[in-house]
A = this chain, B = another copy of it.
Amino acid sequence: VNAPEEPGVIERAEIIAVGTELVSSSRAETNSIFLTAALNELGIEVVAKAVVRDDVDDLAAALEESLRRSHLVVLTGGLGPTDDDLTRQAVARVLGKPLVEDPVIVERIRQRFASRGWTMPEINRRQALVIGGADVLENTVGTAPGQWLRATGVPGGASCAGRLVVLLPGPPREMQPMFHTAVFPRLRGLSGEFRLFRRIVSTSGRAESSVEEKVRPFYERWRQQPLPVAATILAASGQVDLHLSTRSADATAAAAALDRAVQDLRDRLGDDVFSTTGDSLEAVIAALLTAGGWRVALAESCTAGAVTARLVNVPGSSAWLERAVVAYSNASKTEMLGVPARLIAEQGAVSEPVALAMAEGIRASAGTEVGVGVTGIAGPGGGSPEKPVGTVVVAVVGPGAAARVRTVWLPGARAQIRASTCQLALDALRRQLQAAGAE
């Protein structure tokens, strides 16, 4: 269905990670992430990834499926010397090629062992088995060489002549240098003149479905442009990112198409857009503080330092972060921030007056231009009918005259409420700084 028309130009790739331990473990498979980024850089789109166990039938089935669909299949792992390293066998079978021991590789592996005073175990001979017609990719870090070959056969009835199959070792520290030195340069010549260009538009303050509904009318228009722009929406903890991409041989045209799409989103989403460069919310805040010459101090309750910790993700934060307090108990709110005990008694610790007093208190004691106060009920305990779990108040005072305070009700359990509150507090700070900068 998706059969590529021109086997000579590599546009679509798939990655197959091989290893029973990868399927069964609680560890994330990371080779495919590295390879996806590297292939995308070349304008090659990765359309599927698979993780299969060390089973020659499963491996062959996965490879056949991928060859039907894509110009390039990269397999990682299963090149070791043991019985359950079966990638070579599976590829040879699928492509209908012989598997022949290469004496040069045997010698190279033998020397590798010898250089450490060891004798090569006989099983390592398996690593010298080369698929007929394959180019050998030297492994400078380990014993398993990689292989690069063009399919010529017609397995499974589907034509896959000209498809590329690349076998790489599983350990990242062997795979990555091999990819850089032996695979990347070869692919550059084959991936055609097209490259993938991307933009990320990051928004905060609006739910995913709401962003989606607002921007959806653009999708069709972008798709039908002479240079189509594809969009994907990605949401996590209150941040919704739109990933835009276009494939082109013309970098200027691609940039222009993406610029227009970014502008469409800016026009439609207004202040909800906080970055069009992939910068994090904290990086945007750091830039605003630096530009305004402002310093900030924070008073956190339910987030317990997590808002401050996120700000400090940005290197150089000591230039604009003066201090913060985690005023967890009511006594600490009074003693450290000067929030009147009566105010807490009358309004409750989770209230707009208290959040404002926390922000004012920390700003005054730190002597900064900006103060942030965050208080809320993260649960599971502490909720009431008037103030259920998920009630959160965020206040920002300074650098301009007007303070900003907002109460929201966040869904979810403790961890999610705390993460969303962090995002909400940072976004309130960002909006306040932008407003002050525009004054």
- The residue of chain B having its C-beta at the shortest distance from the C-beta of A23 within the complex is B46
- The closest CB in chain B to the CB of A336 belongs to B323
Interface string of A366-406 (1 = CB under 8 A from B): 10000000000011111000000000000000000000000
Q: What mask results when residues 203 to 228 of chain A are scored 1 for a CB within 8 Å of chain B, else 0? A: 00000011011001001000000000
Tell me if A251 counts as interface (CB < 8 A to partner B): no
> Which A residues, 164 to 198, have Cβ-Cβ distances below 8 Å to chain B?
171, 173
Contact A325 B328 (CB under 8 A): no
Task: Decide if B304 touches A366 in the complex (CB within 8 Å).
Answer: no
* Given contact pairs A28-B29, A36-B26, A52-B48, A83 touches B329 in the complex (Cβ within 8 A): no
| B328→A26 contact, CB < 8 A | no
Q: Given the known inter-chain contacts A306-B309, A309-B304, A311-B304, please indicate yes or no for A412 contacting B65, CB distance below 8 A.
A: no
For A332, the chain B residues whose CB sits under 8 A away are 322-323, 366
Taking the closest CB of chain B, its distance from the CB of A434, in whole angstroms, is: 23
Q: Are B47 and A209 within 8 A (Cβ)?
A: no
Stretch at the interface among A129-137, A261-269, A312-320: A312-320
Residue of B nearest to A320 (CB): B328
- Segment at the B interface, from A55-63, A93-101, A285-293, A350-358: A55-63
Can you tell how many copies of this chain the complex includes? 2
Decide yes or no whether A308 CB sits under 8 A from chain B: yes
Instruction: Report the minimum CB–CB distance from A400 to chain B (whole Å).
Output: 23
Residues in B with CB closer than 8 Å to A45 are 24
Q: What residue of chain B has the Cβ atom nearest to residue A313's Cβ?
A: B415
A307 contacts which chain B residues (CB < 8 A)? 305
Contacting residues, chain B, for A216 (C-beta < 8 A): 82-83, 123
Given contacts A212-B81, A324-B304, contact A26 B243 (CB under 8 A): yes
Does B329 lie within 8 Å of A304, measured CB to CB?
no
Q: Does A252 make an interface contact (CB < 8 A)?
A: no
Contact string against B for A residues 136-162, beta-carbon threshold 8 Å, 1 for contact and 0 otherwise: 000001010000000000000000000
- Bound-complex Cα distance A329 to B324 (A): 10
A125 within 8 A of B: no
A213 touches B49 (CB 8 A): no
Q: Check A71 for interface membership: any CB of B closer than 8 A.
A: no
Docked complex Cα distance between A20 and B216 (Å): 17
Given contacts A48-B52, A315-B414, contact A323 B323 (CB under 8 A): no
Q: Does A259 contact B (CB under 8 A)?
A: no
Q: Report B-chain residues with C-beta under 8 Å of the C-beta of A322.
A: 328-329, 331-332
A326 close to B (CB within 8 Å): yes
Subset of 24 A-B contacts with CB under 8 Å: A21-B232, A23-B47, A24-B40, A26-B36, A26-B37, A28-B28, A28-B30, A47-B52, A48-B52, A81-B212, A123-B212, A173-B413, A304-B311, A305-B309, A305-B326, A306-B306, A309-B309, A316-B381, A323-B325, A323-B332, A324-B325, A324-B328, A325-B325, A326-B326
